[in-house]
């Protein structure tokens, strides 16, 4: 079944910090097809910015590498997969903890994963040391409208 909302895009770019804005703005422009609220769009941009920044400073540690973004759109939701082939995360549980950072000297706040988790509806982290990291995030669009609808129906 094909749906007018079903759509996909792929993006590949170098792990340079000046691509952070490019990445989040491109994903936001794609997500805009679902007509999200300003807040939902800001949540997506922030989460993408966090994941891309992690790939640049932790995955590749400022060396040059490729960051891939794959977006899949469904009716009422979007899935964003951000991956690198950098050094990987040794302990995902520790990395997820609020305020934990492996690079305090860079003034990192340690809030990256916490922000992704609270701004998106689902965040999955897969990582293999030496091979890379993949973050898969889902965001439901028009969540408020959907909730109001179900209240009316009930």
Partner 1 sequence: MNVYYQKEDKLLVMEITEEIDHHVAEKIRRRADYEIQRYMPKKTLFDFNNVTFMDSSGIGMVVGRYKLMSMLGGSLELANVKPSLEKVFEMSGVSKIIPIKKSDILKTDITSPQG
Looking at residues 14 to 73 of the shown chain, list those that interact with partner 1 (rule: CB under 8 A): 17-18, 20-21, 24, 38-39, 42, 45-46, 49-50, 53, 56-57
With binding defined as CB under 8 A, does residue 107 bind partner 1?
Answer: yes
- Kindly give, in sequence order, each residue whose CB lies less than 8 Å from that of residue 145, ignoring residues fewer than 6 positions away: none
- Site size with partner 1, rule: CB under 8 A: 26
The neighbour count for residue 97, using CB atoms within 10 Å, is 12
- Kindly give, in sequence order, each residue whose CB lies less than 8 Å from that of residue 2, ignoring residues fewer than 6 positions away: none
Nearest distance from C-beta of residue 51 to partner 1, angstroms: 10
Q: Which is nearer to partner 1, 30 or 119 (CB)?
A: 119
E strand or H helix that includes residue 122: strand 122-128
Whether 20 sits among the annotated catalytic residues: the reply is: no
102: DSSP letter? S
With binding defined as CB under 8 A, does residue 115 bind partner 1?
Answer: yes
With binding defined as CB under 8 A, does residue 106 bind partner 1?
Answer: yes
* Interacting residue with partner 1 among 96, 108, 142, 143 (CB under 8 A): 108
Whether 63 sits among the annotated catalytic residues: the reply is: no
- The answer to whether the CB of 89 falls within 8 A of the CB of 50 is no
Strand runs (DSSP E) across 15-121, as ranges? 66-74, 77-84
* Dmax (CA) of the chain: 54
Q: Which residue out of 7, 108, 117, 126 is catalytically annotated? A: 108
Q: Which is nearer to partner 1, 4 or 38 (CB)?
A: 38
With binding defined as CB under 8 A, does residue 114 bind partner 1?
Answer: yes
Q: Which is nearer to partner 1, 74 or 96 (CB)?
A: 96
Alpha-carbon separation of residue 107 from 1, 6, 103 (angstroms)? 48, 40, 7
The residues annotated as belonging to the active site are 50, 54, 108
């Amino acid at each position: 079944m094909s749906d007018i909302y079903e759509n996909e895009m792929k993006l590949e770019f170098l792990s340079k910090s000046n691509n952070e804005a490019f990445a989040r703005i491109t994903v936001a422009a794609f997500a805009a097809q679902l007509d999200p609220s300003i807040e939902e769009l800001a949540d997506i941009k922030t989460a993408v910015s966090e994941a891309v920044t992690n790939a640049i400073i932790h995955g590749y540690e400022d060396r040059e590498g490729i960051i891939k973004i794959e977006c899949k759109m469904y009716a009422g939701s979007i899935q964003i997969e951000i991956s690198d082939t950098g050094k990987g995360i040794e302990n995902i549980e520790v990395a997820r903890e609020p305020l934990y950072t492996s690079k305090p000297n860079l003034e990192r706040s340690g809030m990256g994963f916490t922000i992704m988790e609270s701004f998106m509806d689902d965040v999955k982290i897969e990582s293999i040391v030496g091979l890379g990291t993949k973050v898969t995030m889902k965001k439901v669009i028009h969540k408020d409208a959907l909730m109001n609808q179900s209240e009316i129906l009930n």
